[in-house]
Amino acid sequence: MMAESEKSTQLVKNTDVFQLTLLRALVLSVVWVLLWRFSAILEYAPYASIWYPPAGLTFAALIVYGWRTILLITPIAFLMNYWLTHMYELSPPAGELFYHSALFAIAHISAYAIGALFLRQFIRLQVIQTLPGFVMGFVLMGAVTALLASFFGSQVLLTTGLITVFDLYEVWLPWWIGDLVGVLVLSPLFVGIMFWRSALYSVWQRRLRFSTFESSAYQYGLKVGYTVAGVFVLSLFIWWFQRPEIAFLFFFFVLPQMWIAYTESAFRSALSLAILSLAMALGLFLFRIGESALIVQFAISVIAASVYFSIAVPAMLAERERSQYQPYLDHLTKVASRTYFLEVGRDEIDRASYHGYPVALAIVDIDNFRNIQYSAGHEVADRLLQKVSESLQGHLRHSDILARGRGATFLLLMPDTTKEHAERALNQMLTSLHYLNIPQLTFAMELQSATVEIDTDESIEGALDRAASQLNPR
């Protein structure tokens, strides 16, 4: 049977397990058109919306379904340009309209295909394997593709004569930020919805180590509700005082969003971002404060990036901690490894030599461990090692170090302890070990031990060999 890690890799690489079926294509098309229409309603300037949800949906669909999305979105974007021409009450010749529509469709899909397919390929080839890497790649690719979309789109407008070269700056910047907000805020949510309850979603969740912790729906609703209420109150203040600079206060909504990110799952964090961006867009639309639109767009972008990195940073720190301490921990007994024991021993001997205090080293060995494995099985033998380590740890001082040696051997380092004191402490430990209760163990374990006091000019390896030589050969 294929190992779990191999199955995960195979499933992530084999994107054909998530086909763009006819039903999914139909739903995706309808949702794309509805989002396009909604963003058109919220335009605050020609060709510039507060945020552009179709950009997020296109980017997400390309990540999930790959190149098949191109065949679906291109004709939709082509037809939407006919609708857009009707909205602006333009009447170009039929041939010219067809040419313009084709250019708009190609500009839209090509820009997002570049970034999304690159990101998809990085994931498939496992160039990106962790949540911090995924967040960095997503934010970078999202910004680049939104910039490409605004550049291609504005060039199409310039080519078709809808704008002049003097209008270029006024068009491409709001276009870029609107598309960027749509990608950053909505793409993760759309990806999560497309993957929902699928095996591929579980693999991504495990490989990228997304948090699955969630509070109750009521608590989550309160957090989101308070945030949305604050957005509308601030929008009201901007309208009432007619001061667009008040919109800079929208940046402070990063605080409740980061609170949600730290206390909720990644999916709920993405959902709260989408709700926040919708509330901001509706606030600007309802209160007619379009002069603050660019500030709000930048605020949403910064908030989205901050939330994603706040999700990624704990995972990054945990991963670094795991990689840092993995060589120094015995995973079965949860005590230090032999490698860590030797490193600490070298440092402790140097300190003891400098300050002039003794250091004792002890070895505890389960002499009949192999017989226990053969008679009771590996599961019982592993349980015995865990019980022994727990018992020994119960007798340690804060300065003592317990480690697992080779096989069924435990190592003890006791700073500021003479050999006599170490032997007395070790006898108490051995006595407690004889009272361990493991029902599956049908005969008593046999223990042997040795204690030495490390000489000032002796290495930790030398002291360990000297103590091992005092054990009876098996």
Convert the pLDDT of each residue in 214-229 to its tens digit. 688 899 999 999 999 9
pLDDT: which is higher, 1 or 110: 110
Alpha-carbon distance of 183 to 139, in angstroms, equals: 9
pLDDT: which is higher, 259 or 438: 259
pLDDT at 291: 86
Q: Taking residues 81-87, what's their average pLDDT?
A: 79
Residue 17 has pLDDT above 60, yes or no: no
pLDDT at 204: 54
pLDDT band at 126 (very low <50, low <70, confident <90, very high): low
Q: Taking residues 132-152, what's their average pLDDT?
A: 88
pLDDT band at 201 (very low <50, low <70, confident <90, very high): low
pLDDT band at 253 (very low <50, low <70, confident <90, very high): very high
Alpha-carbon distance of 142 to 183, in angstroms, equals: 6
Query: How much is the mean pLDDT over the chain?
Result: 83
Task: Dump pLDDT digits (tens) for 289-332.
Answer: 888 888 998 999 999 988 888 877 766 665 565 555 556 788 88
pLDDT at 474: 54
- For the ranges 69-73, 80-84, 337-341, the lowest mean pLDDT is seen at 80-84
Q: What is the pTM of this model?
A: 0.65
- For the ranges 92-96, 97-101, 146-150, 248-252, the lowest mean pLDDT is seen at 92-96
Q: Taking residues 376-393, what's their average pLDDT?
A: 88
Residue 57 has pLDDT above 90, yes or no: yes
pLDDT at 402: 92
Q: Taking residues 169-198, what's their average pLDDT?
A: 85
Q: Which residue has the tokens 């704990």?
A: 314
pLDDT band at 212 (very low <50, low <70, confident <90, very high): low
pLDDT at 13: 42
Q: Taking residues 24-53, what's their average pLDDT?
A: 85
pLDDT: which is higher, 324 or 384: 384
pLDDT at 128: 66
3-state secondary structure 303-365: HHHHHHHHHHHHHHHHHHHHHHHHHHECCCCCCECHHHHHHHHHHHHHHHHHHCCCEEEEEEE
Domain 338-469 is found in CATH 1.10.1060.10: no
Q: pLDDT > 70: what percent of the chain?
A: 86
